[in-house]
Amino acid sequence: MSFDLDLIVQALPELLQSVLVTIELFVLLMLIATPISLLVALARVSSMLGLRCAAACYVNGIRCIPVLVILYFTFYGLPQLGLRIAPFTAALTGLTIGTVAYLAEDLRAGLTAIDPGQFQAADALGLGYWWRTRRIIVPQALPVMIGPYFTRAIVSLKATSMASIVAVNEVTGESMALLTQTYRALEFLTFAAITYLTLSAVLAFAQVILQRKVALP
């Protein structure tokens, strides 16, 4: 028995469909998790004690629970509470909850890298909190944040494979389904691996471009 490319060609419509599901899951995940993570990171460095504590509890609580367990919670647990949601939504929710905890820590590192003199100058000029954050702090934190951010994005991309366990037919799920139908593992697993490799490469490339864009003059 050897590697049979024909198998992949025959299953291409389903496989490509599953790639789209992976991309959709990943893009939605990052679109939702990024702003929330930034808010959690800002809360982590806030001057308000209550906000700081709440954010620290969230981050430290969630990152000590396996993302897989969180996914089981949203998939099996929520319906038990009477919340009927589609597998895709359950997976997206679980992944978001997990990703935010990690991403917030990555972004916080960028925020704490800023010279305290910048805050003082902004305060002395009477700039408000959100103005200061939007115009001064975040733009300066971006160059520091961008590396860890894309590393986290790549980790999250691969984490979307866990959605297969809660009945979402993304690349891993579809490959496994085809594997059990055909008893051919190598072909479909190779396809799945190449898909993640390609998507990760796109992210790494995007990082290089963005890094140049947000670099401080």
Partner 1 sequence: MKATLWVTRYDARPCREDIASRTGMTMIELAALSEHGAHESAVVNVAPLLRIKKLVKRYGPKTVLHGVDLDIPAGRVVALIGASGSGKSTLLRCVNYLEVPEPGSEIWLDGELIGQDARSTPPRLLQGAALRRQRSQIGMVFQHFNLFPNLTALENITEAPLAHRRATKAEARMQAQALLDQVGLHDKAASYPSQLSGGQQQRVAIARALAMKPRLMLFDEVTSALDPELVDEVLKVMLQLAQDGMTMVVVTHEMAFAAEVADRVVYMDQGRIIEDGPPGSILRNPRHPRTQAFLKRMLRTG
Give the binding site for partner 1 (CB under 8 A).
115, 117-118, 120-128, 131, 135-136, 139-140, 216-217
What is the spatial distance between Cα 26 and Cα 30, in angstroms, rounded to a whole number?
6
Q: How near is the Cβ of 128 to partner 1 at its closest, in Å?
A: 6
* Closer CB to partner 1, 7 or 51, in the complex: 51
* Closer CB to partner 1, 109 or 125, in the complex: 125
Output b/e per residue, 122-132; b: 16+ Cβ within 10 A: beeeebeeeeb
What is the spatial distance between Cα 100 and Cα 23, in angstroms, rounded to a whole number?
18
Output b/e per residue, 186-214; b: 16+ Cβ within 10 A: ebbeebbeebbeebbeebeeebeeeeeee
Q: How near is the Cβ of 145 to partner 1 at its closest, in Å?
A: 13
* Closer CB to partner 1, 135 or 158, in the complex: 135
Q: How near is the Cβ of 214 to partner 1 at its closest, in Å?
A: 9
88: Cβ–Cβ under 8 A, 6 or more apart, which residues?
21, 25, 163, 168
Q: How near is the Cβ of 51 to partner 1 at its closest, in Å?
A: 15
Q: How near is the Cβ of 216 to partner 1 at its closest, in Å?
A: 5
* Closer CB to partner 1, 1 or 216, in the complex: 216
* Token representation of residue 94: 């679980």
CB 199 within 8 A of CB 22: yes
What is the spatial distance between Cα 45 and Cα 104, in angstroms, rounded to a whole number?
11
- Residue 184, classed as helix, strand or coil, is coil
* Closer CB to partner 1, 47 or 80, in the complex: 47
Secondary structure letter of residue 106 according to DSSP? H
* Closer CB to partner 1, 13 or 126, in the complex: 126
Q: How near is the Cβ of 8 to partner 1 at its closest, in Å?
A: 48
